[in-house]
Amino acid sequence: MANRPTAPDAPRPDKAHGLVTALGIGQICSWGSLYYSFPLIAEAMGADLGWSKPDLYGAATLGLILAALSAYPVGLAVDRGHGRWVMGLSSLAAGGLLMLWSQVTSLVAFYVLVGAIGALQAATLYEPAFAVVARRVGPGHSRAGITALTLWGGFASTVFIPLVQWLLDEWGWRAALLTLAAVNVLVCSSAYLLFIQPARDAKPAGGSNAAQQREHNRQAVVVALHRPVFWTLLVSLTAYAALFSAFTFHMYPLLRERGLDTASVVQAIALIGPAQVAGRVMVSLFAAQAPMRAVGAVVVAIFPLAFAALAFLPADFLTVASACAVYGAANGIFTIVRGMVVPEMLSRHAYGAINGLLTVPMTLARAAAPVGAAALWAVDASYDTALIAIVAVAGVLAATFWLAAWMSRPRLHLIQAERDLLP
């Protein structure tokens, strides 16, 4: 069967710089206001209202569960050309919910609002932004744009954690939430509504119309679900999400328990953000054309080594700081890998829908892992068991990704099978 022709009017990757810049600014603000701000706001709320940590973080868990349930329909909507409205209107809604949150006095209202904000994360963070870029330039040309988005997003915690802390110190948590609401309404929604322009998206190969493209995408999802590599990747990415979430929520008390003083722990953790950005820059400079399955196969080996160093080596500052920096670089690179596994290892059709399906168990794992780590800590009031469990999960991540990379290597017959199923 002859190869499908590439649409002559498909935009080149370098024609999406304005979109990627706008999405990047939006991602800094979306991640910073909807994700990284929560622990700081929750701490201030607990002190003010007398609510317990389980009460506060239960709302965050609910939000992540609702985000998981929203991931597939969001991806499907972006595939159908609705990314502008999905991301733009969701940012406006997030602004309204943050404004209402600033007035909350009831725990029930807090759960309703934070749960709804969690659901909107599925429509405003990396996954829909990746899908928008893939739709603009075509999934096969989306690597540079996705890499650039992760570089922008890497600065979200650096910008917003100090900003939110300053707002809390100067004005309190209610004013801080009103400021974050304004960021979503004025910055995020503007970036998404003004710069996501479906009319400029890459045209489907072969000149198929919208109805035919929807059918192509539906068939691509069916094909992906019948491939063992999809399920292997699903296990691998879910393991990644679990270890990332467990370590992110517990790294401060975990490292304190290992014997470091507060200043040393803060310094070690502060290395993670810059290391993430450095890892992404390294990929863009030295592995810009390398297959993502090859890049991922190398990077996943780093996770069990970094956590094993924390678990089994002496907990001096140099060891812990080195492990945090190495983990940060690996995490930064794997964010790019995660954005590219669909077009490079599964299908160049239905990016948003397939990526959304992979995101569902990942988000559920992000919700459950911190609770699981806390339960393991409670067994003997020590993080030793939890840390060993994280090492084991990192081993599952590495092993299953290697298997998926091996299964996706002979692409020719997979591409042919996909073309046979797609009209």
Domains of the chain, CATH where assigned? 13-201 (1.20.1250.20), 215-421 (1.20.1250.20)
Q: Are 122 and 128 in contact (CB under 8 A)?
A: yes
Tokens of 327: 């983990």
Encode pLDDT of 193-227 as tens digits.
999 988 887 776 555 556 666 777 678 778 888 88
Instruction: Give percent of the chain with pLDDT exceeding 90.
Output: 39
Q: For the chain, what is the largest distance between any 2 Cα atoms, rounded to a whole number of angstroms? A: 68
**Dist CA 26 CA 86 (whole Å):** 14
Cβ-based neighbours of 186, under 8 Å, separated by 6 or more = none
Region of residue 125 (left: phi > 0; alpha: psi -120 to 50; beta: else): beta
The structure tokens 């990929």 sit at 283
Residue type, 102: S
pLDDT value of residue 346: 82
pLDDT value of residue 184: 97
Report the interhelical angle of 17-31 vs 126-137 (nearest 10°).
170
pLDDT value of residue 209: 57
Nearest C-alpha neighbor of 98 from the set 196, 189, 194, 25: 189
pLDDT value of residue 2: 39
Burial (Cβ within 10 Å: 0-12, 13-18, ≥19) of residue 344: buried
Strand, coil or helix: 203: coil
pLDDT value of residue 255: 86
Encode pLDDT of 375-416 as tens digits.
888 888 888 999 999 999 999 999 999 999 998 875 544 554
pLDDT value of residue 23: 94
**Dist CA 215 CA 403 (whole Å):** 30
pLDDT value of residue 411: 52
pLDDT value of residue 423: 46
**Dist CA 66 CA 191 (whole Å):** 25
**Dist CA 234 CA 357 (whole Å):** 9
| pLDDT (tens place) for every residue of the chain, 423 residues total | 334 444 434 444 446 778 889 999 999 999 999 988 888 888 789 889 998 877 887 888 899 899 989 988 998 898 888 999 999 999 999 999 999 999 999 999 999 999 999 999 999 998 899 889 988 887 777 778 888 888 888 788 778 878 888 999 899 999 999 999 999 999 999 999 999 988 887 776 555 556 666 777 678 778 888 889 999 999 999 999 999 988 887 887 888 888 888 788 878 887 888 898 898 888 888 777 788 888 999 999 999 999 999 999 988 899 999 999 999 999 989 988 888 888 888 887 778 788 888 888 998 998 888 888 888 888 888 889 999 999 999 999 999 999 999 988 755 445 545 544 444
- pTM of the complete model beyond 0.85: no
pLDDT value of residue 102: 96
